[in-house]
Copies of this chain bind each other. A is one copy, B any other.
């Protein structure tokens, strides 16, 4: 001990920084290693992690699930009315974003959008009667995710709305998303004025059928190469879709001219598509959904297959837990607000578009999209850091989606809930911000994080199910 006290000590302190501070205050050098116990010290969570980490059935499940995600081949197959193509959609069903939620608890933009959908469907003559109809319980309100679908922001899909149909030809599953309405007063931000409904009717009667004819003429469109190309053109295909939308338009137009669409309809359709840099977003979302649904339901797998928000709750699903949701309060996004708005005006985080991050693009591929920082804040270096940080919580990389600024490595993909809880690093999400009141629209954009609580619940639940399976009474 005398040698110990006599020598020059170099101290590394792990955890609570106060210990290192004291040593430094007494004049000796000390390095502090940031560390928190897994699950913030919650013994149940620590036990669950101990159950799941290095457990053979979890590793095997993850390998299967990740291979299914990576092997997915999403093909944009067509466009049809939701009621005719989305499985399990009843006559009076309206789908919304995020985990399940009752009408009475829904946020402003979602309520406004559901009222708009009721009016669009002519189930009620005005907003008051629409409200009454919904309150009567005669309209079934269910999450998009429950029907293989996804929608940005409010995410509203009603039976006569046209939806994109994406088939994952590798696995045989299908995914759906509504069509993007553009910016301004739009249903997905809760607006339901006559101009919004008129646009939806035009989308249902002209745009949707025209797109269906184009895709029929093309024989479908493979989405992975197009998404990969867009990642080489500064998109992260969540909040930046300028390249993907342009590439899509370049692919659609030659087919459009060959498909016999009436000239004046084609004129209107062309004006609409070329006027919207986010036209591809909903396709990107459906493609991601098709990749992740293929990876869903693999026993033991801790792969996250959905992250979604309804403006009140944030929810995730794990492959090994099937369709079950793990939810917590949705955060308010501390982003870049348009002039005159602040967090006080914002609805909590909203929409299914975080399916893109779940699939390794969006915030996970920000390194590919340095110019996005003009929209969501931060610097191009931050964008690269976001991508790099996500490697700590993912199962691997998606070699189909390479990132030029990082020397063409694949994007980090396949969120492992165990790693999220173990490291405390939560998934980064690029997101738009909706006004809390229906119909005001987008008031900002920013980078947010999926809340840790969803992942701890999921990990505990997965561990419980595996323990039950392997307990003496089980199997």
Contact = CB atoms under 8 A, between A and B. Distances in A.
Interface in A360-390: 370-371, 373-374, 379-381
A280 to B, nearest CB: 12
Nearest to A264: B257
A263 interface: yes
A124 interface: no
Contacts of A234: 232-234, 243, 404
Given A234-B234, A370-B405, A407-B380, A270 B246 contact: no
A105 interface: no
Interface in A150-192: none
A379 B405 contact: no
Q: Say how many copies of this protein the assembly contains.
A: 2
Given A233-B234, A234-B232, A257-B266, A404 B250 contact: no
Nearest to A267: B257
Interface in A194-244: 229, 232-235, 242-243
Interface residues of A, number: 34
A247 B249 CA distance: 10
Interface of A: 229, 232-235, 242-243, 246-247, 249-251, 253-254, 257-258, 263, 266-267, 270-271, 274, 370-371, 373-374, 379-381, 404-408
Contacts of A229: 242
A274 B246 contact: no
A406 B384 CA distance: 12
B267 A258 contact: yes
A235 B233 CA distance: 8
22 contacts: A229-B242, A232-B371, A233-B233, A234-B243, A246-B246, A249-B250, A250-B274, A251-B274, A253-B253, A254-B267, A254-B271, A257-B263, A257-B267, A257-B270, A258-B267, A263-B263, A373-B404, A374-B408, A380-B405, A380-B406, A381-B407, A405-B405
B253 A242 contact: no
A353 to B, nearest CB: 21
Contacts of A247: 246
Closest 7 CB pairs of A and B: A370-B404, A246-B246, A232-B371, A371-B404, A233-B234, A257-B267, A233-B233
Contacts of A404: 234, 370-371, 373, 380
Nearest to A379: B407
A274 B251 CA distance: 8
A16 B373 CA distance: 46
Contacts of A370: 404-405
A208 to B, nearest CB: 19
Contacts of A253: 249, 253, 270, 274
Contacts of A249: 246, 249-250, 253
